[in-house]
């Protein structure tokens, strides 16, 4: 830890700006991971089966209450369609599809910030290295991992942070895309249910 503190001081102020960026990155990734993997995570097939069972048993009101109790993205798509159930199947599909934009906005919330922070830490690292290269950098009093010259430490740390953002954000983006795919299936599912209800 003492070695890291020395390097941070030698690469100041760039190192502290990068540390602030790292703190923001961790906060965004943790918040998105908790929301996508826990709060918004649902088994779409099981949910569809429960709603279908309730509707077929004539318990449409219970299905509507279930739709209203779901996490925000699911509620945005299911609740309007279930509310319209009993009317024209096309209207049911359109009502459900109308909530897709809001649902996807919730899923992809804060992802653009990851890109901005990644570019920022890269830029800060590049500026730190450029400053060192225009002057004679001090000798590093501690060994630097991988034998990186001190002048290139800011750029290397910025690149490492940007890589971490890319990997972490990419994994979360895959999770968001899977949920979005399940949500896009719901309007057709509700349209099919509406045809069943109308044919009784």
pLDDT digits (tens, 9 = 90+) for 159-195: 988 898 899 999 999 999 999 999 999 999 999 999 9
pTM to 2 decimal places = 0.83
| 8 A C-beta contact, residue 17 and residue 124 | yes
User: What is the residue-wise DSSP string for 177-189?
Assistant: HHHHHHHHHHHHH
Question: Looking at the predicted structure, is the pLDDT value of residue 137 above 90?
Answer: no
35-38 contacts at long range (C-beta below 8 A, 24 or more positions apart): 36/107, 36/172, 36/175, 36/176, 36/179, 37/175
């Amino acid at each position: 830890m003492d070695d890291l503190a020395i390097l941070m001081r030698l690469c100041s102020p760039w190192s502290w700006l990068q540390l602030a960026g790292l703190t923001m990155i961790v906060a965004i990734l943790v918040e998105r991971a908790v929301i996508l993997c826990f709060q918004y995570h649902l088994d779409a097939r099981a949910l569809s089966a429960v709603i279908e069972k309730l509707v077929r048993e004539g318990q449409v009101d219970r299905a509507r209450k279930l739709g209203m109790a779901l996490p925000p993205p699911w509620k945005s798509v299911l609740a309007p369609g279930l509310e319209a159930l009993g009317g024209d199947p096309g209207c049911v599909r359109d009502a459900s599809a109308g909530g897709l934009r809001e649902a996807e906005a919730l899923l992809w919330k804060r992802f653009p910030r990851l890109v901005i922070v990644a570019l920022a830490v890269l830029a800060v690292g590049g500026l730190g290295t450029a400053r060192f290269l225009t002057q004679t950098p001090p000798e590093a009093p501690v060994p630097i991992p991988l034998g990186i010259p001190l002048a290139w430490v800011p750029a290397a740390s910025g690149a490492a942070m940007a890589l971490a953002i890319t990997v972490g954000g990419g994994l979360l983006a895959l999770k968001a895309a899977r949920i979005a795919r399940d949500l896009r299936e719901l309007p057709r599912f509700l349209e099919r249910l509406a045809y069943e209800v109308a044919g009784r």
